[in-house]
Amino acid sequence: MTAAGAVRPGWFGPYGGRYVPETLIPALEELEQAWAEARLDQGFLSAVAEDLRDFGGRPTPLSFAERLTRNFGGADIWLKREDLLHTGAHKLNNTVGQVRLALRMGKSRIIAETGAGQHGVATAATCARFGLSCEVFMGAEDVRRQSPNVQRMRLFGATIRTVESGSRTLKDAMNEAIRAWVTHVRDTFYVIGSVAGPHPYPTLVRELQRIIGEEARAQCLERFGALPDAVVACVGGGSNAMGAFTAFLPDASVRLVAVEAGGDGLATGKHGASLTAGSFGVLHGSASSVLQTADGQVAEAHSVSAGLDYPGVGPELAHLRDIGRLDVRTATDTEALEAFQELCRLEGILPALETSHALARARDVARELGAGKRVLVNLSGRGDKDLGHALAEIARRRPEAVT
């Protein structure tokens, strides 16, 4: 499918492109050509599909959240259960495809960046399966608050490169990963985890993640004979959102709701709401909507969720916002933590803190639409990784809430 609004390859309106050192241009051109050939190769596509079925556990189910629906008091809530994919999140959809592509290109070393750790875990697990060397760049702050995922990556044989610069989070991990790629272009494949970065990554990652929405669309038609009235997904860089939204882009009747990290509140400046409060800028190789200071420096993002703690967003999402296709909202740290607990208690499902932002705003969307309508929430990951951090944050806010 042609990307929404893309006139030139790699561009979405004014967003996208390749803003990288000259050293990386041949590597990006090589990757673009390899992907153009692979996506037309039925053998490659079949191998990826088999990996996702036999290793990943696809298709993931569509679950009706009956008690959550009653509690919200409005439209029916349906959950696309990407939390049940192997390694616990949607990230494996992308890593399987990219690592297969690396093998096709003859690359022997895999590097990746990670924030919440789910992309790092998925990359490490995929590399373990194929016997490839794997190095994961991760900010020191994220290493601290996502220690279960750090342990899993190491068990899968990955080397963790702890990043101490800047805010010591995802932005800084991506900076270091790009630097490492520049110095080892010939044998290294950089598995980017989001629909960000220089062309062709935003398109490549979207195409590998679009299986989420394609499955969900077919499941909705099978289960209740209609499309959902709204699709809700959290947005950091945007891979799970584009994965869920892409199949519904042509359907004007389906509202696409992107929920960003409101952090401590937009007025405080401590948030990760790039679509809501960002401006045109360049970050990590592409032009998009970026959180910036008054003098044009990239601002520090904040979120209780490591996966949404990023000052930029994928360029296609910025374009979809501009043309009015996205309904962009935010959820604060406190609202996300409340939604985290609510899904646990009402449905017996432990969501990731990233997903909890989407759940927080799904309540509002359900009430706006009303009874008889349907809201599809992309449950992008499970919250085992967040448990210690989330309980500590809940206790800090309301000590009586943690037993």
- Block means of pLDDT (10 residues each) for the chain, length 403 residues? 60 97 94 98 98 98 98 98 98 98 96 92 98 95 89 97 89 91 92 97 98 98 98 98 98 98 97 98 97 93 92 98 98 98 98 98 98 98 94 85 51
pLDDT, residue 229, reads 98
pLDDT value, residue 2: 42
Q: What residues act catalytically?
A: 91, 113, 380
With contact defined as beta carbons under 8 Å apart, do 329 and 259 qualify?
yes
In degrees, to the nearest 5, what angle opens at C-alpha 367 toward C-alphas 379 and 263? 55
Report all structural domains of the chain as residue ranges with CATH numbers, in order of start.
Answer: 19-52+91-205 (3.40.50.1100), 58-88+210-401 (3.40.50.1100)
351/83 Cα distance (integer angstroms): 8
Note the pLDDT of residue 279. Answer: 97
- The single-letter code of the amino acid at 69 is T
Say whether 385 sits in a helix, a strand or coil: helix
Q: Are 142 and 115 in contact, with CB atoms under 8 Å apart?
A: yes
DSSP string across 273-300 = -HHHH-EEEEETTEEEEE-B-TTSPBPP
- What is the rounded CA–CA span in Å between residue 77 and residue 63? 9
Q: How far is CA 172 from CA 162, 164, 276, 301, in A?
A: 10, 8, 22, 11
Distance CA(68)–CA(395), nearest Å, equals 24
Distance CA 187, CA 183 (A): 10
Burial class (CB in 10 A: 0-12, 13-18, 19+), 42: exposed
What token pair was written down for 335?
């609202």
3-state secondary structure of 234: strand
pLDDT the model gives residue 302? 94
Q: What is the predicted pLDDT for the residue at 167?
A: 84
How many other CB atoms sit within 10 Å of the CB of residue 46? 10
Label each residue of 113-146 as H, E or C. EECCCHHHHHHHHHHHHHCCEEEEEEEHHHHHHC
Write down the pLDDT at residue 1: 37
Quick one: pLDDT at residue 398?
75
CA nearest neighbour of 228 among 247, 206, 200: 247
Find how far residue 130's CA is from the centre of its chain.
Answer: 24
What is the bridge-based pairing of β-strands 188-191 and 326-332? unpaired
Structure confidence at residue 255 (pLDDT): 98
Query: Which letter does DSSP use for residue 306 in this model?
Result: G
